[in-house]
Amino acid sequence: MKRSIVGLAVTAATLLAGACAFAQFPGMQQPKHYPWSDASLSPDSRADLVVKEMTLDEKISLVHGQGMPFFSNAPSESNGGAGYTNAIPRLGIPAIQMADSAYGVTRGEAAGRYSTALPSDLGAASAWDPDSAFQYGALIGRELRAEGYSMTLGGGVNMPREPRNGRTFEYQGEDPLLAGVLDGNVEKGVQSVHIIGDLKHYAINDQESGRNSVNANISKRAMRETDLRAFEIALGISNAGGVMCSYNRVNGDFACENSYLLTDVLKKDFHFQGFVLSDWGGTHSSTKASHAGLDMEQPDKIFFGDPLKKAVESGDVSQDELNDHVHRILRTIFATGLFDHPVVKQVPDVEGGYRVAQQIAEKSIVLLKNQHNLLPLSSSVHSVVVIGGHADVGVITGGGSAQVDAPGGSAVPAPAPKNMMEAIIHIQWLPSSPLRALQAQMPSAKISYVSGDDPQAAASSAKSADVAIVFAYQWESEGMDLPTLDLSAAQNQLIETVAAANPKTIVVLETGSPATMPWIDKVAGVVEAWYPGIRGAEALAGILTGAVNPTAKLAITFPKSDADLPHPKLVLPPPESEINFSDPGADISNIMSRMAKGLPAFQTYYDEGLKVGYKWYDAEKKPVLFPFGFGLSYTTYAYSGLSVTPGDSTAVTFTVKNTGKRAGTEIAQVYASLPDAAGEPPKRLIGWARVELAPGESKQVSVPVSQDRLTVYDEASDSWKLVPGSYAIRVGGSSQDLPLHQSVSF
């Protein structure tokens, strides 16, 4: 009780200070009037008025960060986040206070701040729900504002070309349409409360191993139709104020000084009007980066401080170019409403955060196997043994800059850190106990727990129980990739041993990426819970007991083995291309200095091109463990009556019927197979719909498909084209279950 109440409380001093500040500025309006205070003017006009009044030093001060406050003595203006740009009091321009916030606001524990740990982004993406994505972002935005921040550093939308990527849990799945729509709505939600949104890591930052030095070799067509397409869609929905360029090189140039990415594509083709900020330590030059389209260096001023000022004074960087950087930052401050609605610390709505987290988790948990309808657990189940995964005390979270502090501290104490990076990046469990949640949901049953450290003891407990539930996990984090998608040998052995003792064994997975399952044929059920957040246990208990009917479907393919991946062997950097973060003598200034100098490049080749995720397995005819878009329910659905009306917006109409005895929500998916002349993978996702149905109910569904979802990128003309010919439109419940199909010509 102490952990759940006291650990969640914001200190009285923080609450009082926030309440007093809010009382002083109830309307949150700027106290002084400037010419650019006129909200009837366009953001561009307001930014232009400010730029005309700025000195060179003021302009330079706006295009770089002021250090990493949590690593050093923070200036008084800092709010203690990952970084910030200073205010310009003379002109009424507020500081931009930035916080890492991929699935909740990070690093709040040390300052006595509460933040809601939401389900991981990949988990939330499995809801396929733009409305939930908006609520996800809006909650993060509200808590950023309540804690005194004005910009999120979340918004990950990279494609999992390497699903062992340590940040796969931060991203929105393997399809650019799905990822773009969902992340666009997340950032739209963030900006709905006048907080600057962010999309990252732009671009092709698809692995963590050697991320500061890897050179991603990839064709323009492959970029435009996959990773960059996701960014384009997300920007079109959100109008995010920031785009963070990534650490890696792309076709020879660092992403943060890559004119093709930043200027040709992002600012010209995508019509991006916000500002580009570097990933932390991802800037490597002054003049080249400025010319390429980088607007802000973070977290310091190694290149965009005095060196950029000297470049402007010498004429190497024009005043117009500098003014464009400054204008974009100022425009964003006005366009997002940050200027007109200054951030004032407030009391966070803890219970409201809990509710949102649980609702999203319930939509995120995927039922993958349910032999003999063992789930939901029926009233005839009198004894359940919960085994392993620290399921008696909590649920696991992802690590790195995305990690949200566990309220009251990790439910499972972390080992003592050996160096600086271990002190920052370490495994944590949120205090949401699956054991206690199941006990609350099943008060008449005996629910016990066994650690699983001794597989034979666990098997003995399982043998005497009606049902055994084994919890297994795979922790992943920024800065490191998984060596394999397989679980640890000890966990695999535990699952096999328990399943041999009790055929009614269910495995609950808490992973940030797909997991391989050598034991899949020996267990009765598999539930993918992802990193389910602060109310993950309660959501999971609802799914297991049937209080909630599972609706989620995979946003990423689960392959049978690492050998089936496009790159079976993880591409690792040579030692000289890596920063040794485990060196006990390492400090942040030395690390930043090495990163800024640019480490020796090593190469990765994305020769699979357009074939990302399910497109790879389709094209290579590789069987998978569970396909993209797959997920079971406690009811069943039938599809019929497909009608396709082509046009500038093609209407795909069909009927879905709930053929079971429970109400449910089906995620109906629409794919297209393009003409052979297009040179595309066998099919691509072009739309979907969430369909709520009562038992026996039928609904006609119409999914509009804009023509851009059918086009291909032509490198020769640098344009998108609709290839003439026959298009097969396919509809069904997953990428490999598409019973309806109809051909149309364009």
Q: Average pLDDT, stretch 175-181?
A: 98
Q: Can 718 be counted among the known catalytic residues?
A: no
Among 281, 367, 742, smallest CA distance to 551 is for 367
Q: Average pLDDT, stretch 46-70?
A: 94
Split at pLDDT 50, 70, 90, the class of 11 is very low
Both tokens of 131, joined, read: 């409305």
The H or E element spanning position 2 is helix 2-5
Both tokens of 442, joined, read: 């099943």
* 289 pLDDT higher than 60: yes
pLDDT at position 555 is: 98
* 582 pLDDT higher than 80: no
Angle, CA of 190, 264 and 86, to the nearest 5°:
45
List, in sequence order, every residue forming a beta bridge with 551; answer none if it has no partner: none
Split at pLDDT 50, 70, 90, the class of 28 is very low
Q: Average pLDDT, stretch 378-390?
A: 96
Q: Average pLDDT, stretch 573-589?
A: 73
Residues 491 and 523 sit within 8 Å (Cβ to Cβ): no
Residue with tokens 């010509």: 745
Split at pLDDT 50, 70, 90, the class of 124 is very high
- Rounded to whole angstroms, how far apart are CA atoms 70 and 354? 27
pLDDT at position 243 is: 98
Which DSSP letter does residue 340 get? T
Residue with tokens 């910009």: 151
Q: Average pLDDT, stretch 545-571?
A: 97
Q: Average pLDDT, stretch 717-740?
A: 98
pLDDT at position 357 is: 98
* 563 pLDDT higher than 80: yes
Between 73 and 499, the more confident residue is 499
Both tokens of 76, joined, read: 């008084």
Domains of the chain by start residue, with CATH: 2-335 (3.20.20.300), 360-564 (3.40.50.1700), 635-745 (2.60.40.10)
What are the residue ranges of helices labelled H in 159-251? Answer: 176-191, 220-225, 227-238
Among 189, 160, 190, smallest CA distance to 172 is for 160
pLDDT at position 80 is: 86
Q: Average pLDDT, stretch 499-506?
A: 98
Report CA 743 to chain centroid distance, whole Å.
Answer: 35
- Rounded to whole angstroms, how far apart are CA atoms 97 and 99? 7
Q: Where are the beta strands (DSSP E) in 236-382?
A: 242-245, 249-250, 253-254, 275-278, 366-370
Residues 337 and 97 sit within 8 Å (Cβ to Cβ): no
Q: Average pLDDT, stretch 230-240?
A: 98
Residues 290 and 318 sit within 8 Å (Cβ to Cβ): no
Sign, CA torsion 322/328/331/332 = negative
pLDDT at position 5 is: 32
Split at pLDDT 50, 70, 90, the class of 19 is very low
pLDDT at position 291 is: 98
Which DSSP letter does residue 91 get? G
Bond before 417 cis per omega within 30 degrees: no
- Rounded to whole angstroms, how far apart are CA atoms 389 and 405? 19
Report CA 507 to chain centroid distance, whole Å.
Answer: 25
**Strand-pair category, 429-430 with 395-396:** antiparallel
Of the candidates 227, 279, 300, 481, the residue annotated as catalytic is: 279
Per-residue pLDDT tens over the stretch 594-629: 788 788 899 999 999 999 999 999 999 999 999 999
Q: What is the pTM of this model?
A: 0.94
Q: Which of 109-113, 289-293, 522-526 has the lowest mean pLDDT?
A: 109-113
Mean per-residue pLDDT of the chain: 93
Residue with tokens 């690792």: 572
b/e burial code for range 260-273 (CB count within 10 A of at least 16 → b): bbbbbbbbeebebb
pLDDT at position 697 is: 98
